[in-house]
Structure 1
Amino acid sequence: MEARLIYNPTAGPRNVQRDLRHVCAILERQGWTVELATTERPGDAKRLAQSAAAQGCGVAIAAGGDGTINEVVNGLVGTQTALGVLPVGTGNMWAKQLGLSTYTLVNPFRLHEAALGLTEGTIRSMDVGQVGETYFLCWAGIGLDAQVVAEMEPRQRHTKRLGALPYLIAAIIVARDFRGVRARVSLDGKVVRGRVLLVLVSNIRQYGGVFEVARTACIDDGLLDVFVFKGLGFPYIVKHVLRIISQRYLHDPQVVHRQVRRIDMWTEPDVPVQVDGDPVDRTPVTLRVVPRALKVVWPPGAPRDLFAADM
């Protein structure tokens, strides 16, 4: 197998590159040919993934956080090159959905385990979401969480090392003053109106690496799970969070859940849109699913029931 390992040096501990060389050695002992490529600026990971696909690489491995993985995805959609991941960033939401442990200085062998998972995995095709010209692997958010992302990104390296803590602090500050917006949300043509705090469009089951919000989602069914969280201000935000924690949110009349192919959303005033933790747009916005457009390496220990089709 020919592979390109795309590494973002601003993600993870400073000495991760040394362990990535060990990963390359592990892959090469398994018969792989691996090129290690390092990003220098935003957009590099996408360009490196595109060139890997053009050169006929079987796998493009993203070694970084959610932003790096998203860039690699955007370089691979519609190609025959599969996405592989080595979780070395601070977010790693896709890796968490796969059940992969994040690399740490205390346990660098997690990278070695992830590398072996690549060599033992199978190639599957999965859906991606799309906003304008940008694809997303995990989810898109419109409203509250996108406002938090807009406040946080781009982060400096020292901030990234603090993990989720800066996001939590920013979320509390933003949520305290966020009152929602008047919105019209078209879900495959069926319209939901009201004052909206957040519209979550999910391709996977987990949200934020903590909550399993889209519990029945499959990543190859040609559908996106959409959750419209209604309400006015901070008390409703707290209520929604508590109901998500207690798994009672689907019985809340202030929450609309649908599985759809297309979402059109208008708001007054306009609000930010984020995909996979990066800001991309503002409302009005259209999101759609692109069925089975991305090939992925599925490690042997990853959840099998995320696929509707038999494995």
Structure 2
Amino acid sequence: MNPKSGTTTPVQKNKITNLLAKHKNCKLFFTEYRGHATEIAQQAVAEGIERVIAVGGDGTVNEVAKGLIGSKTALGIVPIGSGNGLARHLKIPLTIEKAVNFVLSQQTGVIDVCFLNEIPFFCTAGVGFDAHVANEFAQQSSRGLKTYAKMSLKSFRTYKPESYHLESACINEVKNAFSITFANATQYGNNALISPKSKIDDGLIEMVVLKPFPFGAAPIIGVRLFRGTLPNSRYIETESDSLFTLKAQENLLVHYDGEPLQLDTNELKITLKPKALLIIGHV
């Protein structure tokens, strides 16, 4: 558990601690620094532990999952973050008691793992407006959908689309884009369905290009995002493949599973390892 994660209160976190204490085969660890969750997960793999449960938001889930790729140890999630993208895609309950019971009792499945250069991601990654907002959101003292919506609106007024050179098996062209998302799962989090037809175990990455659009179209695009009808928009282009490359004019600000990162390169290579992660959830 990340004791500083998400929007959950100390009372709720104590509730999780007490619930897990009732199960004699469970041991709870608190993360102390960035990357600690990956180290704990790797140690669990070395010890032959069957399940490692990430208690936290998408950042904690990503850190734990990194340490489990290619192993026989399954990832479970008790979602207490602000977005909970992977948990929502896997239909994990969002209430604490139900989530704990779910991850301790459900059978396992396997999902694909995607990589942005060498960085694993499990839901979405990308560049453009979404990366810009993720970077702004990470600097806020409060979390949650309300704060994210506020930062999105503020950023929308000043953000300018950029040009990217994209390559895959089917495309080789420059696109002017508001944002480009590479999706393994259907959503960013909070049921914002950027790629509603994505399947997390099909061996494919969906690239979603949001083209520049007039200010007046923003509310309609927002509604489509949450209704799962975004692919029907004339401002959306999609492409499915297992390998994409992207090149920009300047070094890239990216996001992966909600985490922003400034790269020291202007090039991306998006790849996939099929069925490389054992998970507890509905694939």
Which amino acid is 2:85 matched to? M
In the alignment, does 2:269 pair up with 1:286? yes
Identify the match of residue 14 of structure 1 among 10, 33, 43.
10
Identify the match of residue 256 of structure 2 among 272, 275, 278.
275
In the alignment, does 2:90 pair up with 1:98? yes
Give the aligned partner of residue 127 of structure 2: 142
Describe the SS at the equivalent of 2:185.
coil
Provide runs of 4+ in structure 1 moved above 4 Å: 232-239, 245-248
Alignment partners' CA distance in 1, 2:152 and 2:244? 25
Map Cα deviations across residues 32-54 of structure 1 (whole Å, 9 max, x no partner).
x1111001111111111111111
How far did 1:296 drift? 0.4
With normalisation by structure 1, the TM-score equals 0.82
Query: Structure 1 residues 15 and 251 mapped into 2: Cα distance closer, same or farther (>3 Å)?
Result: closer
Matches within 5 A, 1:180-191: 180-188=161-169, 190-191=171-172
Map Cα deviations across residues 180-221 of structure 1 (whole Å, 9 max, x no partner).
001111133522422111111111122332233323221111
Instruction: State whether residues 222 and 291 of structure 1, in contact with CA within 8 Å, keep that contact through their aligned partners in structure 2.
Output: yes
Which amino acid is 1:184 matched to? H
Alignment partners' CA distance in 1, 2:52 and 2:231? 38
How far did 1:144 drift? 0.4
Instruction: State whether residues 8 and 64 of structure 1, in contact with CA within 8 Å, keep that contact through their aligned partners in structure 2.
Output: yes
Alignment partners' CA distance in 2, 1:85 and 1:211? 19
Instruction: State whether residues 27 and 115 of structure 1, in contact with CA within 8 Å, keep that contact through their aligned partners in structure 2.
Output: no
Instruction: State whether residues 178 and 233 of structure 1, in contact with CA within 8 Å, keep that contact through their aligned partners in structure 2.
Output: no
With normalisation by structure 2, the TM-score equals 0.89
Query: Structure 1 residues 144 and 235 mapped into 2: Cα distance closer, same or farther (>3 Å)?
Result: farther
Map Cα deviations across residues 258-300 of structure 1 (whole Å, 9 max, x no partner).
11101111123444110010013444211111111111012xx
- Unaligned 5+ segments in structure 1 are 1-6, 103-109, 307-311
Identify the match of residue 222 of structure 1 among 203, 208, 211.
203
* Identical aligned residues as a percent: 26
Alignment partners' CA distance in 2, 1:192 and 1:91? 33
Moved more, 128-137 or 12-21: 12-21
Describe the SS at the equivalent of 2:104.
helix
Alignment partners' CA distance in 2, 1:86 and 1:259? 30
Which amino acid is 2:115 matched to? Q
RMSD of Structure 2 on Structure 1 (CA): 2.2
Identify the match of residue 201 of structure 1 among 182, 185, 192.
182
Give the aligned partner of residue 35 of structure 1: 27
Alignment partners' CA distance in 1, 2:38 and 2:246? 28
Instruction: State whether residues 178 and 234 of structure 1, in contact with CA within 8 Å, keep that contact through their aligned partners in structure 2.
Output: no
Instruction: State whether residues 191 and 226 of structure 2, in contact with CA within 8 Å, keep that contact through their aligned partners in structure 1.
Output: no
Instruction: State whether residues 26 and 112 of structure 1, in contact with CA within 8 Å, keep that contact through their aligned partners in structure 2.
Output: no
Give the aligned partner of residue 45 of structure 1: 37
How far did 1:247 drift? 5.3
Query: Structure 1 residues 247 and 83 mapped into 2: Cα distance closer, same or farther (>3 Å)?
Result: closer
Identify the match of residue 116 of structure 2 among 131, 156, 169.
131
Query: Structure 1 residues 296 and 91 mapped into 2: Cα distance closer, same or farther (>3 Å)?
Result: same
Alignment partners' CA distance in 2, 1:101 and 1:229? 31
Give the aligned partner of residue 68 of structure 1: 60
Alignment partners' CA distance in 1, 2:239 and 2:151? 29
Describe the SS at the equivalent of 1:100.
coil
Give the aligned partner of residue 105 of structure 1: none
Alignment partners' CA distance in 2, 1:25 and 1:249? 43
Give the paired residue count: 279
Which amino acid is 1:100 matched to? I
Describe the SS at the equivalent of 1:126.
strand
Alignment partners' CA distance in 2, 1:237 and 1:69? 31
Instruction: State whether residues 142 and 199 of structure 1, in contact with CA within 8 Å, keep that contact through their aligned partners in structure 2.
Output: yes
Give the aligned partner of residue 212 of structure 1: 193
Describe the SS at the equivalent of 1:227.
strand
Describe the SS at the equivalent of 1:50.
helix
- Unaligned 5+ segments in structure 2 are none
Give the aligned partner of residue 153 of structure 1: 138
Moved more, 202-211 or 273-282: 202-211
Identify the match of residue 57 of structure 1 among 49, 68, 80.
49
Higher fraction of strand: 1
Alignment partners' CA distance in 2, 1:268 and 1:236? 27
How far did 1:58 drift? 0.6
Describe the SS at the equivalent of 1:205.
coil
Instruction: State whether residues 145 and 190 of structure 2, in contact with CA within 8 Å, keep that contact through their aligned partners in structure 1.
Output: no
